[in-house]
Structure 1
Amino acid sequence: MGQIKIFGVNDKLNPIKLTLSNVIHSCMMDALQFPKDKKFHRFFPMNKEDFFYASGRTEAYTLIEVSMFEGRTVEAKKLLIKLLFERIHRELKISPQDIEITIFETPKHNWGIRGLPGDELTLNYKVDV
């Protein structure tokens, strides 16, 4: 399971939501073997005056938070990060300097999905990649 939150300045984030979502999901599928139909993305476009970031970043500054079941290898998570930087830069021309990614992992039993604790779900994909 994976939930993705994407934060950015609304004038920059709104026009690219669909493309960015597709890019992120392609990275999730390639690095973590996510199924094509498991896409849970939430966009949080913010007013410029509500979104502060460090110097050296531009208005294209984008935060990506990935929440997922624990169990992926360090190598798989590093591949995900690498692919996100590469593909977002290639497809959307957002510099890696303007992208920050955080991965949050929690045990399956900390998730509630479709009326069940996550550790009682039958999944159609592997978590231990």
Structure 2
Amino acid sequence: MAQIKIYGVKEKLNLIKGTLSNVIHSCMMEALEIPPNKKFHRFFPMDKEDFYFASGRTEAYTVIEISMFEGRTVEAKKQLLKLLFERINSDLSISPLDIEITIFETPKHNWGIRGFPGDELALNYKVNV
């Protein structure tokens, strides 16, 4: 299970939502073996005056937060980061300098999904990759 939040300046982010969502999900499927139908993305387009970031970044600056069940290996998470930086750059021409990604992992029992604690769900995919 993974939930993804994407933040950016609305004038830039709104133009690329569909493509960015597809890029992110392709990386999740490859690096973490997330099934194709498990795509949970939320976009937060922000007014410029509400989105402060360090100098050296452009208005393409994008923050990606990934919340997921714990259990993936360090190697799988590093592969995910690598793929995200590469594909966002190649498919959307956004420099890795303008991308920040944070992965938040929590135990399954801290999730509530479809009326059950996450550790009581029968998943059709593996988490320990």
TM-score (norm 2): 1.00
The Cα of 1:20 is off from its aligned counterpart by 0.1
RMSD of aligned alpha carbons: 0.2
The Cα of 1:67 is off from its aligned counterpart by 0.1
Q: Please state if 1:97 is matched with 2:126.
A: no
Residue 77 of structure 1 corresponds to which residue in structure 2?
77
5+ residue gaps, structure 1: none
Number of equivalences? 129
The Cα of 1:31 is off from its aligned counterpart by 0.2
Question: In percent, how many aligned pairs have the same letter?
Answer: 80
1:100-119 matched pairs, under 5 angstroms: 100-119=100-119
Q: Which consecutive aligned stretches of 4+ in structure 1 deviate over 6 angstroms post-superposition? A: none
5+ residue gaps, structure 2: none
CA distance in 1, matches of 2:63, 2:71: 23
Deviation sequence 1:10-58 (CA, Å, 0-9, x none): 0000010000000000000000000000000000000001000000000
Residue 27 of structure 2 corresponds to which residue in structure 1?
27
- The residue identity in structure 2 corresponding to 1:60 is A
CA distance in 1, matches of 2:76, 2:38: 18
